Structure 1
Amino acid sequence: MLLPMSPTDSMFLLGESRDHPMHVGGLALFEPPDGANARDVRAMLDAALARGTVAPLLRKRARRSATTLGQWGWDTDVAVDLDHHVRHDALPAPGGTTQLMELVARLHSGLLDRSRPLWEMHLIEGLTDGRFAVYMKIHHALADGVSAMKLLRSALSEDPDTTGMPAPWEPLVRERPALHLVPDPPTSSAGRLDLPAAALRAARGAAGDVAGMLPAIAATLGRASRGHGGPLTLSAPKSMLNVPIGGARRFAARSWPLERLRLVAKFADATVNDVVLAMCSGALRIYMRDQGALPTEPLIAMVPVSLRGERQETKAGNEIGVLMCNLATHLTDPAGRLDTVRASMREGKDAMRTRSSAQILAMSALGTAPLALGMFGIGGPIRPPNVMISNVPGPSTPLYWNGARMSALYPLSIPVDGQALNITCTSTDEQIAFGLTACRRALPPLAPLLDHLDDELGDLEQAVGL
C-alpha cells in the first residue's frame, strides 16, 4: 500500500543530493555484561538477523507513482534485506576515540539507498577498552531527531537483568494478525452526539488556526525587524559557517555530567537548554576567533522545538517548530552571553505560547525559508541563521541491551548549504552528550571545539559563583 507523505517530510527527499545527505544518526557505546565481550553481542545480533523480523516503521520505503501524481509516498510493507541494512565494522588500530569518530564520520557521509527502506545500522568492534559501538542512521523524511533517538532508546531497558530483548530493528512486541472488530453501537443519545460535537470542535479549531495565521506571521515579521527572539531572524551575520557544503563529514562528540549544567541553570535563573546555548556561544566565539573569522555581530542559532504531545512520541515524520537565539558572541563576558541567550529564548517562547501548532509551523516556515531555498540552490535576500543547536532530553536512568550497559549516546545530524555546522545534544544516565556534525570541506577539525565547550562550562560555573 502506498500512503501519502507530508510535504514537510518529502522536502528532505527533494532537497537531497550527493553533497547533501538528509539523514540523522546516533552513535551508542556499550559495555558488555560481566563475563561477555563484543563477540557475544555480535552473536546475539546475528541471531536477530536470522529471525528476520523488522518493525513497521523500518519497512517503509519512499516511492513515487502515478497514483500519487508523481509525489513521494510510503510503500508500507516492503521486504527487507537485513544483510544490507545491518552491517559489521571493525576499527583500525589503536581502536581509540579518534578512530571511532573518523569511521562514523565516513559512515554518516554516505547516502542511503532509496530503492530500500531508508535506514542502516552498524555494529562496530575493535575498541581498545572492550566496549562496542552501534551507529544507526535513518532518513529525515522517515524520522526527525527526536523520534530517531526515541527509536534507538525504545530497544533498551532500565533493567540490567532483562534478556531476550529484540534488536533495535525488530518490533518491540511480536506482531500478531489484526483482528477486524465491528464497533459496538452507541448506547445512548449522548453517545450519538459525541462524534458530531468532536467534529464541530475540530472544525472550530481549524477555523481559528486559519483566522490567526496572518496575525501570527505579521507578528513574527515585526519581532524579527526589532531584533527580538522568535521563529525568524533578519540579523544573522555572514560567517565561515554559512557557506556551500560538500558531502564529506566531520564528527566529534563528548559528554559532561548533566548536574553541572543544572547547577549553572539554577544559579542563573535559566534553563538547562539556555546553558547548552551559552556553552556553544563561548565555544564558537573562541573557535572562530582562532580562525580569524569571528563576525563583529552576534551569531544567531536556530533552535528546533518539538511540537509532539505525549501520544505522538512514536509517530514517524517531522513535527518541529524553530526559535532563533541571539548567541551574543560579540560579548567577552560569559555571564553576559548567558543573560542574552536567556532573554532571547524567553522572548521566543512568549511569542509561541498563545499560538497553535499549525500557526507555529507557519511562523517557523518563515525562519527556515532561507535554508529551504538553499537546499535547492536558490539564494534569497535573507541570510540563514548561522548554526543549528538542538537539545533532545532523555531518560535519567542507565539503559541496557541484554545486560550491556549503554555508556554514551552521541547524536549526529545534518549540515546543509548555508549552515555547515550542526550541534545536537542528548542526555541519558545523568550525562549530556554534545554531537558536532560538520562539512569536512568547510570547517577545520572539530576537536578544539570540544575543548572550548569544556572551558566555557567552567567559565559559566565561575561566573555564577560555583
Structure 2
Amino acid sequence: MLVPMSPTDSVFLFAESRDQPMHVGGLQVFHPADGMERDDVLDTFQQMLSSNETSPMFGKRVRRSIRTGWLWAWEEDERFDIEHHVRHNALPRPGRVLDLFALCSRLHGSLLDRHRPLWETHLIEGLHDGRFAVYTKVHHSLTDGVSAIRLMQSSLSDDPEFRGGVPPWRAGVESMSPRRSEVVAPASRGPVELSSDTLRTALRTAGEAAALPLVLARSVNRGLHAQSGPLAFTAPKMMFNVPITGARRFAAQSWAIERFQLVAKRSDCSLNDVVLAMCSGALRRYLLSLQMLPQAPLIAMVPVSLRDESTAPTGGNSVGAVMCNLATQLDDPGQRLSAITQSMRNGKQALASMTQLQILAMTALAVSPLGIDPLLRLTGVVRPPFNLIISNVPGPRSELYWNGSRMSGLYPLSIPVDGQALNISCVSHAEQLSFGLTGCRRTVPHLQRLLSHLDDELVALELATA
C-alpha cells in the first residue's frame, strides 16, 4: 500500500544529488562490557542479522510513479534484506580515532540506495583501546535529528546489567503483529465527531494561511533591518557558500557539559547561546588563519524543534529556524556572547508570534535559495541566505548501555549542501556535550583545526565570564 509522503519530508528527496547526499548520521562509541572479547563483538553483529523483522519506519522504502502523480510516497519493502542494511567494518592498525573518523567520512559521503529502506548501520571494530563503534545513517526524509536521537535511546538501557537490548530498527517490534505490513487501524469515529473535527482543522488552517502575507511582511522587515527571525538578508559571501562535492570530512570532540552550564549561568543566557558563541569564536579564528574572515558578521541558521515532548518518535520532520547573528566581527568573546544572546532572544520572540504552520512556511522560504541558486548557477555569486547551520540536539541525560557495553561517545554527522559547505551539530550525552563537524572535503580545508579553535574559544569564554 502506498502512503503519501508529507511535502516537508519529500523536499529532502527532491533536493538530493550525488554531490548532496541528504542523510543524517550518528556515531556511537562503546566500551566493551567486562570480560567481552572480539568474538563477543562479532556475536553481537550476528545477532543484529538474526531477524528481518523491523519496525514500520525502518521497513518502508520510497516510491514514485504515475499512481502517486509522480510525487514521493512510502511503501513496505516486501523483499527487505537485513544484510544490506547492517554491515561489519574493521579499522586498519593502529586503530586511531582519526582512522574511525576517516571511515565515517567515507561512509557519510555515499548515497543510500533508493530501491531499499533508506538507512544503514555499520558495526566498526579495531580501535586500539578495545572499544567498538556503531555508525548509522538515515535519510532526512525518514527522520529529523530529534527523532533520530529518541530512536537511538529506545535501543539502549540505563542498566549495565541488562542484556536484552534490541537495535533501533527493531524497537517496538515485539509489540507488533507478526507481519510488518499490518497496521492497526484507529478506532472508528462517528460521522458528527469526524465532521466537526475536520471543519475545525480546516478553519484553523485557513486562518493561519490567510495570515501568512502579514507574517511574511514582518519577517522580511526584520531581515532587512538585521533583526533575528526566520529570514536574513545580511549574510556575507564567504568561502563556505560555494558549490560543493559529495566527498565528506568529519571531525568530532566532546567537552564537559558543566563548563557550558557555568558560562551560561554567569552570563544569564542559555546553554545553546554558549554553544553558538563558542562556534562563532572558533570560526573567527579559523577564517583569520586563512585570511578569509568577512567584515560583516556571519549568519547561522539555528534549527528549532517544533515537536512536543510527548510526541512519539514516529519519524518525519518538524523543524523551524532562527537566523542568528554570530557577531564574528567582534574580537572580544564576552561581547560576542552578549550579541548572540540578544540575537537569539529576538529570534525566539519572532517565532513565538507565529503558529507552527507559519513557522514551517517561513523556514521553507528561508532555505529555498539553497534549491533555487544551484539551478540558476547562482551559488557563490549572489548573497547566501545564511552562512552555515549550527544545531544542538538534546540527548540522553544518563549513561546508557548496549547489552552491558557503555556508550562512551555520541557524535552527530549532518548534511552540507550546495552553498553550505560546513555543518556543525551538537548533541548532549550524560555529562558531555559533543560537537560533530561535517564539511565538504574539497571546500573546507584543515577541518580538524576547528576542534582546537573550539577548545581555545571555550577557555576564552570561561575567562571572559569569570
Q: TM-score, normalised by structure 1?
A: 0.94
Q: Give, in angstroms, the shift of residue 53 of structure 1.
A: 1.6
1:12 is displaced (CA, Å) by 1.4
The residue number in structure 1 matching 2:421 is 420
The corresponding residue for 2:169 is 169
**Residue matched to 1:345:** 344
Amino acid at match of 2:32: P
How far does residue 70 in structure 1 lie from its aligned partner after superposition? Answer: 1.3
Measure how far apart 1:13 and its partner are.
Answer: 1.3
Deviation at 1:200, TM superposition (A): 4.4
- Return the alpha-carbon distance in structure 1 between the equivalents of residues 9 and 27 of structure 2: 23
C-alpha distance in 1 between matches for 2:183 and 2:19: 46
Question: 1:236 Cα shift?
Answer: 0.3
Residue 208 (structure 1) shift: 2.4
SS at match of 2:368: helix
| Structure 1 pair 258–147 and aligned structure 2 pair: CA distance change class (3 A) | same
Deviating more after overlay: 43-52 vs 268-277: 43-52
Q: Displacement of 1:427 after TM fit?
A: 0.4
**Structure 1 unaligned residues grouped into runs of 5+:** 187-191
- Say if 1:38 and 1:131, in contact at 8 Å, map to a contact too: no
Contact (CA 8 Å) 1:370, 1:382: kept in 2 or not?
A: no
The farther-off stretch of 112-121 and 363-372 is 363-372
Instruction: Tell me by how many angstroms 1:47 deviates.
Output: 2.0
Partner of 1:45: 45
Distance, in Å, in 2 between the alignment partners of 1:75 and 1:173 is: 18
Q: 1:145 to 1:184 in 2, by over 3 A?
A: closer
Tell me the secondary structure at the aligned position of residue 50 of structure 2. Answer: helix
**Paired residues of 1:166 and 1:172 also in contact (CA < 8 A):** no
SS of equivalent to 1:305: strand
Matching residue of 2:152: 152
Question: Structure 1 residues 179, 67: CA separation in 2 closer, same or farther (over 3 Å shift)?
Answer: closer
> Which position in structure 1 is the counterpart of 2:367?
368
Per-residue CA deviation, residues 132-188 of structure 1 (Å, 9 max, x unaligned), is 0000001111111221222222211111111121123223341225697895888xx
Q: Counterpart of 1:362 in 2: which secondary structure?
A: helix
Mapped to 1, the partners of 2:228 and 2:247 lie a distance apart of 33
Q: How many residues align?
A: 460
Question: Structure 1 residues 265, 181: CA separation in 2 closer, same or farther (over 3 Å shift)?
Answer: closer
Q: For the structure 1 residues 180 and 28, does the alpha-carbon distance in structure 2 shift closer, same or farther, using more than 3 Å as the test?
A: closer
Task: Report the counterpart of residue 277 of structure 1 in structure 2.
Answer: 276
Q: SS of the residue aligned with 1:130?
A: coil
Please give the secondary structure, in 1, of the residue aligned with 2:260. Answer: helix
Q: Pairwise mapping of residues 130-279 of structure 1 onto structure 2 (< 5 A)?
A: 130-174=130-174, 175-176=176-177, 197-279=196-278
Q: CA deviation at 1:52?
A: 2.3
Deviations 1:235-291 (A, max 9, x none): 000111111100110100000111110111111011011000000000000001101
- What is the letter of the counterpart of residue 379 of structure 1? L
State the distance in 1 between where 2:361 and 2:185 align.
39
Contact 1:250-1:445 within 8 A present in 2 as well: no
| TM-score after normalising by structure 2 | 0.94
Query: In the alignment, residue 23 of structure 1 is paired with which amino acid?
Result: H
Equivalents in 1 of 2:108, 2:434: separation in Å? 18
Give % identity.
53
Partner Cα separation in structure 2 for residue 361 and residue 386 of structure 1: 20
SS at match of 2:340: helix
- What corresponds to 1:189 in structure 2? none
> 1:284-312 deviations in whole A, cap 9, x for unaligned?
00001101111111010011111111343
Structure 2: 5+ residue runs without aligned partners? none
Give 1:45 deviation, angstroms.
2.8
Partner of 1:314: 313
What is the match of residue 293 of structure 2? Answer: 294
**Deviation string for 1:395-452 (max 9, x for gaps)?**
2100111111100100001101111000000001121100000000101121110011
Q: Secondary structure at the match of 1:345?
A: helix
* Greater mean alpha carbon deviation, residues 200-209 or residues 87-96: 200-209
Residue 286 of structure 1 aligns with an amino acid whose one-letter code is: R
Deviation of the 1:370 alpha carbon = 1.5
Matched, 1:64 2:64: yes
CA-atom RMSD, angstroms? 1.9
Contact 1:32 1:38 (C-alpha < 8 Å) held by counterparts: no
> Residues 83-94 of structure 1 correspond to what in structure 2 (within 5 A)?
83-94=83-94
- The separation in 1 between residues aligned to 2:173 and 2:257, in whole angstroms, is 32
Amino acid at match of 2:137: K
Specify whether residues 181 and 25 from structure 1 end up closer, same or farther in structure 2 by C-alpha distance, changes over 3 A only. closer
